[in-house]
Amino acid sequence: MAAAAASAMLDSLPAPLLRSLRLKTKQQELLLRVSALALIYVLAFAVRLFSVLRYESMIHEFDPYFNYRTTLYLTEHGYAEFWNWFDSESWYPLGRVVGGTLFPGLMVTAALLHRLLRALSLAVHIREVCVLTAPFFAANTTLVAYAFGREIWDSGAGLVAAALIAVCPGYISRSVAGSYDNEGVAIFALLLTFYLFVRAVNTGSLAWALAAAFGYFYMVSAWGGYVFIINLLPLYVLVLLVTGRYSQRLYVAYNCTYVLGMLLGMQIRFVGFQHVQSGEHMAAMGVFFLLQVFFFLDWVKYMLDDVKLFKSFLRITLTCVISVGTLALGIGTASGYISPWTGRFYSLLDPTYAKDHIPIIASVSEHQPTAWSSFMFDFHILLFLFPAGLYFCFKRLSDATIFIVMYGLTSMYFAGVMVRLILVAAPAVCLISAIAVSATIKNLTTLIRTKSKSPQTTGKVTGSKAAAKGAVDQPLPFQHNAAIALLLGAFYLLSRYAIHCTWVTSEAYSSPSIVLSARGHNGGRVIFDDYREAYYWLRQNTPTDAKIMSWWDYGYQITAMGNRTVIVDNNTWNNTHIATVGRAMSSYEDEAYEIMQSLDVNYVLVVFGGVTGYSSDDINKFLWMVRIGGGVFPVIKEPDYLVNGEYRVDKGASPKMLNCLMYKLCYYRFGELTTEYGKPPGYDRVRGVEIGNKDIKLEYLEEAYTTSNWIVRIYKVKPPKNRS
């Protein structure tokens, strides 16, 4: 398409001008490449704007609301205040030291962009900047992907990689306009770091290694996923050492990147001294020391020139080094200086770990193991181009291809463990698939070209063409046609990919999840804006120091949109506090009242989908509240809420279930409501049953507000009784 556009442009120029503009092949190629890249850049940005067109320019989902709130604070109060911000509106009464418990990269980036635009006299609101940050960085990622592809294969592969990643659904899912989350910039930073590091390894240049360290610093400032980098790089170095690919280039690249990256990473308050104290970062340090030993041994070998002596020296040195290393690690771990691996890290290595030990991680839908269908959904044809790309990589093994293979394989494993890590795998999959696509198409076109040119130019084939022709010296029958067919097939597949990606983006990944939409009976779009309705109600109608209790999912939104204090929010740093809320929700009303009094709760907010059929409501999340509550307070027992291991809300539900606070708050007065024609009143459209307790009386709470579609229900906690 780009080529056609370019040639059309050339044709339309007047003849003399055309002659003076006559480009050499190299220049033509450059022009084509640049214009293709520019189009990909625009495409990557534009395809992410579906959400703005469908809904409005708004922040999506849960975490982005926190990021937005902090960015707003940053632009209003400046960096020093942001750094020292103690937020008394969340985690009441514990508070949260926001400045020290977040990755500031995203907020600083958005604030800088905002300031830049302001400096250019473009009066944009910070919200617009936040909404468009992720698409902007996704577009930048395509450039990095191009450079990376060129580094590991050739510029053709780079272009294909850029095109693939521009629309890859696995990446789009986290970078549509409005998805103002760390991942939006972090994937750019991740790929950039990898590219710069590979470049440093390929060139052995200190400057590129320094650039990689800065890329790493940006990644550390932006996302906790930097742990992937700090573990993948040493693993890569280790593999190169084992395969005998050790070189001075590697030594320079790794040492410089590691040392400077570590020092820079420590500047991020949330990360602090983890680089030297946490078990997750120890691999990088171990490999760093190992490289020094390797270098030293190399030098000794060069100096000694005696194989026998060197062997005994090697034995002694290795024994010493290994025992010293083990001892240091053992002492560090035993004395508590080196913290053990965190639960999140364990749950990555062992997919069943979270389920057994940390319900709060297992309860998040994006932490679930990935289903096959979502691989297909997010990668489409890349899924089978990926192995093909691996084949090409192994066929032309180099330091760079080893890196991309390792990145691809490890990230694919992590993508299988957790749904949301598909995001990390997406760039690797795109790059490797791009190698497959590019190499295949190149081979096919070479076939076609040589065949068609062969009658005229058999005699004067030179240089590289001869090498390419070497394999096809004896043309197979129908080779030309087969090549054309295959090329058409590849074209068809790629166009299917483009169609699939666009469809997925527009249908699945552009929903803000704060505004819900459904298809009405006549096919029209029905919008449920209940969340914002409820949050604005809170903002307008409750005292400014009111404390709202809800399940932690809604904490960020309540503080950002409702501007009220919450007990727990999506920053799940204090499991006990969350468990307390879970316990309150799963207790009887009088027990819950005591808990709520101790936390000074004024309002309780629940999300209920029984009227609209909105399935991710609190009743469906309720078992997790029970599990998390029961994990800390053993009085809450999961079997009490189940009947024969079955979770139900109808007449057959367990008595505890029918009378716990969450059930009462969700279904209060629901028994009077007819939700569907032909069904009895109190028919829950999510669970598809008639509820079991229609006569709910509230003693300690009273209904304060219910949104128009009953999705959000707010209750006021009554003060203690006056006369008893």
Partner 1 sequence: MAALRLLLLLAAASLLVVASRGDASGAGPRGRKLLVLVDDLAVRSSHSAFFGSLQARGLDLEFRLADDPKLSLHRYGQYLYDGLVLFAPSTPRFGGSVDQNAVLEFIDAGHDMILAADSSASDLIRGIATECGIEFDEDPEAMVIDHINYASTEVEGDHTLIAGDDLIQSDVILGSKKIEAPVLFRGIGHAVNPSNSLVLKVLSASPSAYSANPKTKLASPPSLTGSGISLVSIMQARNNARVLISGSLDLFSNRHEKAGNEQFVTETSKWVFHERGHLKAVNVAHHKVGETNEPSMYRINDDLEYSVEIYEWSGTSWKPYVADDVQIQFYMMSPYVLKNMSTDKKGLYSTSFKVPDVYGVFQFKVEYQRLGYTGVSLAKQIPVRPYRHNEYERFITSAYPYYAASFSTMGAFFIFSFAYLYHK
Q: How far is the CB of 674 from partner 1 (least distance, A)?
A: 33
| Residue 257, SS3 per DSSP | helix
Q: Does 543 bind partner 1 (CB under 8 A)?
A: no
Distance CA 219, CA 257 (A): 13
Tokens 């040493």, residue located: 234
- Min dist CB 150 to partner 1, Å, is 35
- DSSP helix/strand/coil, 165: helix
Least Å from the CB of residue 266 to partner 1: 14
Task: Work out the number of other CB atoms within 10 angstroms of the CB of residue 95.
Answer: 13
Of 108 and 599, nearer to partner 1 (C-beta) is 599
**Number of neighbouring beta carbons within 10 Å of residue 423:** 27
456 makes contact with partner 1 (CB under 8 A): no
Residues in CB range of 418: below 8 A, 6 or more apart: 347, 348, 366, 367, 368, 369, 370
Q: Which residues pair with 703 in a beta bridge?
A: 715
Cis status of the peptide bond prior to 234, with omega within 30 of 0: no
Q: With binding defined as CB under 8 A, does residue 723 bind partner 1?
A: yes
**Cα angle at 463 between 458 and 466, to 5 degrees?**
50
Q: Is the dihedral of CA 538, 539, 542, 548 positive or negative?
A: positive
Q: Does 92 help bind partner 1 (rule: CB under 8 A)?
A: yes
Amino acid at 718: K
Nearest to 514 by CA among 365, 616, 625, 604: 616
Secondary structure class of 545 (helix, strand, coil): coil
Using the contact rule CB under 8 A, the part of the chain among 94-102, 118-126, 375-383, 526-534 near partner 1 is: 94-102
Q: Are 131 and 180 spatial neighbours (Cβ–Cβ below 8 Å)? A: yes
Among 21, 94, 322, 331, binds partner 1 (CB under 8 A): 94
| Dist CA 324 CA 308 (whole Å) | 24
Which residue, 567 or 585, is less far from partner 1 as judged by CB? 567
The stretch among 77-85, 110-118, 616-624, 709-717 that binds partner 1 (CB under 8 A) is: 77-85
For partner 1, which is the closer residue by CB, 456 or 724? 724
Span of 49-57, 69-77, 78-86, 288-296 interacting with partner 1 by CB under 8 A: 78-86
- Grouping H, G, I as helix, E, B as strand and the rest as coil, residue 656 is helix
Residue 84 makes contact with partner 1 by CB under 8 A: yes
State the minimum distance, in angstroms, from the CB of residue 221 to partner 1.
Answer: 16
Beta bridge partners of residue 705, listed in sequence order? 714
Q: What is the CA radius of gyration of the chain?
A: 30
CB of 96 to partner 1, least distance (A): 9
Minimum CB distance to partner 1 smaller for 233 or for 584? 584
Q: Which two tokens stand for residue 345?
A: 């890290």
CB of 333 to partner 1, least distance (A): 24
Please tell me whether residue 722 binds partner 1 under the rule CB under 8 A: yes
CA 363, 369, 374 angle in degrees (round to 5)? 115
> What does the per-residue mask of binding to partner 1 show for 584-603, with x meaning CB under 8 A?
--------------xx----
Nearer to partner 1, 95 or 680 (CB): 95
CA distance 337 to 515: 47
> Would you mind telling me the total number of residues written for the chain in this entry?
724
Q: Which residue has the tokens 């960020």?
A: 556
Which residue in 13, 22, 29, 88 binds partner 1 (CB under 8 A)?
Answer: 88
Answer for which of 507, 545, 672, 699 binds partner 1 (CB under 8 A) is: 545
Q: How far is the CB of 582 from partner 1 (least distance, A)?
A: 17
Nearer Cβ to partner 1, position 84 or 495?
A: 84
Q: Is 418 within 8 Å of 369 (Cβ atoms)?
A: yes
Is the Cβ–Cβ distance between 548 and 563 less than 8 Å? no
Task: Decide: is 86 part of the binding site for partner 1 (CB under 8 A).
Answer: yes
Going by C-alpha positions, the residue among 633, 556, 552 that lies closest to residue 595 is 633
Beta strands in 650-721 (DSSP E): 683-684, 689-690, 701-706, 712-717
Start-to-end C-alpha separation, the chain = 80
The CB-of-583 to partner 1 minimum distance in angstroms stands at 15
- Indicate the DSSP class of residue 643: B
> Candidates 7-15, 93-101, 529-537, 654-662 — which segment interacts with partner 1 by CB under 8 A?
93-101
Nearest to partner 1 of 295, 346 (CB atom):
295
Q: Does 700 bind partner 1 (CB under 8 A)?
A: no
Tell me how far, at minimum, the Cβ of 469 lies from partner 1, in Å.
51
User: CB of 586: closest distance to partner 1 in angstroms?
Assistant: 20
93 scored as a contact of partner 1 (CB under 8 A): yes
467 binds partner 1 (CB under 8 A): no
Considering only residues 546 to 565 of the shown chain, the ones binding partner 1 according to CB under 8 A are 565
Q: Which two tokens stand for residue 377?
A: 């959904």
How many whole angstroms separate alpha carbon 223 and alpha carbon 202?
27
The reply on whether position 83 binds partner 1 by CB under 8 A is yes
Among 30, 46, 97, 466, binds partner 1 (CB under 8 A): 97
Stretch that binds partner 1, among 80-88, 122-130, 403-411, 475-483 (CB under 8 A): 80-88
Is 708 a binder of partner 1 (CB under 8 A)?
Answer: no
Rounded Cα distance between 15 and 22, Å, is 10
Examine residue 226 and tell whether it contacts partner 1 (CB under 8 A): no
Shortest Å distance, C-beta 119 to partner 1: 27
Which residue, 598 or 616, is less far from partner 1 as judged by CB? 598
Name 233's Cβ contacts closer than 8 Å, sequence gap at least 6: 197, 254, 257, 258, 284, 287
**C-beta of 88 vs 352, nearer to partner 1:** 88
Give the interface segment with partner 1, choosing from 26-34, 90-98, 258-266, 341-349 (CB under 8 A): 90-98
Return the residue of 95, 330, 369, 652 that touches partner 1, per CB under 8 A: 95
Give backbone dihedrals phi and psi of 131, rounded to 5 degrees, phi first.
Answer: -60, -40
Instruction: Report if residue 8 touches partner 1, rule: CB under 8 A.
Output: no
For the bound state, the minimum distance from the C-beta of residue 272 to partner 1, rounded and expressed in Å, comes to 13
Q: Which stretch binds partner 1 (CB under 8 A): 67-75, 92-100, 346-354, 681-689?
A: 92-100
| Nearest approach, Cβ of residue 109 and partner 1 (Å) | 21
Alpha carbon dihedral 431, 417, 63, 188, in 10-degree steps, equals -20
Q: Which stretch binds partner 1 (CB under 8 A): 48-56, 91-99, 258-266, 353-361?
A: 91-99
Q: Does 146 bind partner 1 (CB under 8 A)?
A: no
Pick the binder of partner 1 from 19, 24, 525, 721 (CB under 8 A): 721
DSSP structural state of residue 278: B
Total chain residues near partner 1 (CB under 8 A): 20
Residues that bind partner 1 (CB under 8 A): 80, 83-84, 86, 88, 92-95, 97, 545, 565, 598-599, 719-724
